[in-house]
Structure 1
Amino acid sequence: MITWRRLTEDDFPLLISWLEQPHVARWWNHETSVEAVRRDFGPAVRGEEPSEELLAHLDGTPMGLLQRCRLADYPEYLLEVAALVDVPAGAMTIDYLIGEPQLVGRGLGPRMIRSAVQAIWDVHPGAPCVLVPVSAANRASWRALEKAGMRRVAEGELEPDNPVDGRAHYLYRVDRP
């Protein structure tokens, strides 16, 4: 069973170890110094910014990270996404990773995404849908979204997380049941 809890500063060493894993580093392209992780994740952990940082646990053991937020809380990003597809008021987005290398390729990505979407329906009753942009080059990620029941609704150019990737992205959507 996948469960969720808020990320804390005590989790930063674990998060750093995940961000350093080659399968994560390739797509997240994140600095892994303590200072960088504090700078980039600390404000959300302390409630100073609206994104929610959650640890995913598989049978009680940490397995991954989920970031979720309302697109409207990040106006520049909203404009970028809205150039590709209509974004309903209250729409949310997620970003995710499975940190433990031994858990990759075992079908947990779609399970984690389904669980994350259900948690959004439970915790954010005003969210009409979840929209997820993903690099067109990240086949494993967009396949996980499809296996989780999301549908591709647009293709277009967005700023990549990793500069080595092109701007080509797919946009996936699931609507509140």
Structure 2
Amino acid sequence: MTWRRVDENDFPLLAQWLSRPHVARWWNHDPSAEAVLRGFGPAARGEEPSEDLLASVDGRPFGLVQCCFLSDYPDYAAELATLADVPAGAMTIDYPIGDPDRTGHGLGTRMIESVLHRIWTVHPSATCVIVPVVAANRNSWRALERAGLRKTAEGDLEPDNPIDDPTHHLYRTDRP
């Protein structure tokens, strides 16, 4: 699995993925070109502290992972802190597999394992990774469990998609 930062040439692919039903259900993001530019442009240009990473296997992109230090987003960190301890150096990830033909084969788990390895290598100050997942998104939290993260809390957080119940599971893994 290889990783590279998303750039503006990837925006049409991201728009295509965001419009796919299996992604749109959990990533409540407008797939229009303008919205993708607005949502992903700042990170691609280095104007935002998060990383948007494209995951590929055999040179073929299949997924996206967003990584950031929670301290760079204090309001979000404070929301997570209502459910669990958010230590200094905590990071978080969010991830879809965009290509529907690549779902259901364990690739999500491999992608999470691989990005965790990348985080520990590229971000020496990262102490842990905390991932909130809406409780109804069973496939997502099962992939986290298979990748070795453990459920550390459950409670209400503002859902990304307003149709979802606010109940979330919080998963965590610490630097090995």
Tell me the TM-score normalised to structure 1 length: 0.98
Q: Which runs of 5+ in 1 are unaligned?
A: none
Partner of 2:118: 119
Where 1:174 maps in the other structure, the secondary structure is strand
Post-superposition offset of 1:116: 0.6
Deviations 1:37-61 (A, max 9, x none): 1011101111111010000001211
Partner of 1:39: 38
Identity across aligned pairs (percent)? Answer: 67
Deviations 1:63-110 (A, max 9, x none): 100000000100110000011100110100000010000000001011
Partner of 1:7: 6
1:70 aligns with 2:63: no
Partner of 2:91: 92
CA distance in 1, matches of 2:18, 2:163: 17
CA distance in 1, matches of 2:57, 2:172: 25
1:174 aligns with 2:173: yes
Partner of 2:136: 137
Where 1:27 maps in the other structure, the secondary structure is coil
Post-superposition offset of 1:29: 1.2
Where 1:133 maps in the other structure, the secondary structure is strand
CA distance in 2, matches of 1:21, 1:127: 32
Post-superposition offset of 1:134: 0.3
CA distance in 1, matches of 2:132, 2:88: 17
CA distance in 1, matches of 2:31, 2:99: 16
1:128 aligns with 2:127: yes
Q: Which runs of 5+ in 2 are unaligned?
A: none
Partner of 2:55: 56
The amino acid of 1:165's aligned partner reads D
Where 1:92 maps in the other structure, the secondary structure is strand
